[in-house]
């Protein structure tokens, strides 16, 4: 029997088997519309498995729908939660439960991947999230803003003549679609670059910059110092599971 990792976001579900070395295996993605899943995603799962580890920032209704589907295939389901202290990471929030579990898990994975080094994390999904972790594993806080994709969607909803997709990035665009992608991506890039500069001033040394999430690949070419980490939340979920099993009362 096996253990599977599930990262349920606001627009996509990502899942992977947990390998024997404690890392995610091949990652499979599936879309959802906020209320239901594409039924084809179940083909990526075995008919029966032992444990499902679930991290969710989606709506309660969608989370319940996922749990019901998983309950038909596995013996045990565990929902990840944010802990104040775990696996060398200490959260800055006075109320840890208010920090999204996806951000927390990404911090766990980053600290494990770059131990003893400060890290700035940029998560690019429905929202753009930025979190700073110092070399000791102390979370110094972060920011939340609309992602480029959400900016485009919001503009299109308010002004339907503005295209919601398409275009090529340019510093000074000469086409509306190009100008839109350049402006929305540029806003995200500016926030990341400002945060990186502020983090360097605060810590006295530039942190490593890690990008993750579905929209990260579009920004990474414009941030030469950034490393793209597609599995950060799932890797953090595996790390969370390992730490909770070994120290069940730590930070809870």
What residues are annotated to the active site? 102
Q: Is 208 helix (H, G, I), strand (E, B) or coil?
A: strand
CB 83 within 8 A of CB 69: no
Q: How far apart are CA 27 and CA 229, in angstroms?
A: 12
Q: What is the CA radius of gyration of the chain?
A: 19
Q: How far apart are CA 21 and CA 72, in angstroms?
A: 27
Which residue shows structure tokens 């992977």?
Answer: 16
Which residues are 119's β-sheet partners?
A: 133, 208
In 3D space, the residue among 128, 125, 131 whose CA is nearest the CA of residue 58 turns out to be 125
The size of the chain, in residues, is 252
């Amino acid at each position: 029997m096996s253990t599977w990792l599930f990262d349920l976001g606001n627009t996509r579900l990502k899942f992977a088997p947990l390998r024997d070395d404690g890392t995610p295996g091949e990652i499979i993605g599936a879309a959802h519309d906020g209320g239901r899943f594409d039924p084809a995603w179940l083909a990526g799962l075995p008919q029966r498995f032992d444990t499902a580890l679930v991290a969710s920032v989606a709506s309660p209704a969608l989370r319940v729908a996922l749990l019901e589907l998983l309950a038909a295939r596995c013996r045990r389901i565990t929902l990840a939660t944010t802990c104040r202290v775990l696996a060398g990471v200490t959260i800055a929030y006075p109320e840890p439960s208010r920090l999204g579990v996806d951000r927390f898990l990404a911090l766990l994975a980053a600290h494990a991947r770059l131990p003893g080094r400060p890290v700035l994390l940029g998560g690019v999904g429905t929202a753009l999230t930025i979190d700073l972790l110092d070399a000791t594993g102390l979370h110094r806080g972060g920011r939340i803003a609309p992602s480029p994709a959400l900016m485009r969607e919001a503009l299109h909803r308010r002004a339907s003549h503005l295209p919601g997709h398409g275009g090529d990035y340019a510093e000074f665009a000469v086409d509306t679609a190009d100008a839109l992608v350049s402006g929305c991506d540029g806003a995200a890039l500016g926030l990341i670059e400002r945060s990186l500069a502020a983090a360097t001033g605060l810590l006295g040394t530039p942190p490593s910059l890690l990008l993750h999430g579905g929209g990260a690949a579009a920004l990474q070419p414009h941030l030469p110092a950034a490393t793209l980490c597609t599995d950060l939340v799932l890797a953090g979920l595996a790390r969370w599971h390992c730490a909770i099993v070994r120290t069940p009362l730590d930070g809870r």
